[in-house]
Amino acid sequence: MQFATESIHDDRPLAETFNDSQFLRDFRDLAASHTRGCIVLERPDLLHELTVLHHAKDTTVRQTAAAELLSMRPRPSQFNMGEEIPERSWAYRFAKRYFYNDFGAYASPRNPLAAAARPD
């Protein structure tokens, strides 16, 4: 899935394009607040809402990404709360729990869709 509100061909420096994009910021917050896996697999409905909210353009050649999102049914990815597949090695379970857990990416989740729905 490829959606964009900005382009690398804009007149701004790349760092500014990536860091100042409200669409990318909201995408990161949405993914962090709704899944620990793949948002495309787990919540295609929310991803579609986000693209509509930001008027993001489908940048694929086939121009069917929005329809594909709407036709998808949610599927669990590697984060499947309550139905996790246990690791066989106690050392790997320990390392995964204490050293590889999210790398702080999900420290402060916010939902940009909920904020957009609230009247100011």
Report field, pTM of the whole predicted structure over 0.85:
no
Percent of the chain topping pLDDT 90: 42
C-alpha of 20 from chain center? 17
User: How large is the average pLDDT for residues 73-97?
Assistant: 74
Give the range among 25-29, 31-35, 77-81, 109-113 with minimum mean pLDDT.
109-113
Q: Is the pLDDT of residue 37 over 60?
A: yes
Q: How many domains does the chain have?
A: 1
Q: How confident is the model at residue 106 (pLDDT cuts 50, 70, 90)?
A: very low
Q: Which domain holds residue 11?
A: 3-117
- Distance between CA atoms of residues 13 and 88, nearest Å: 47
More confident residue, 8 or 92: 8
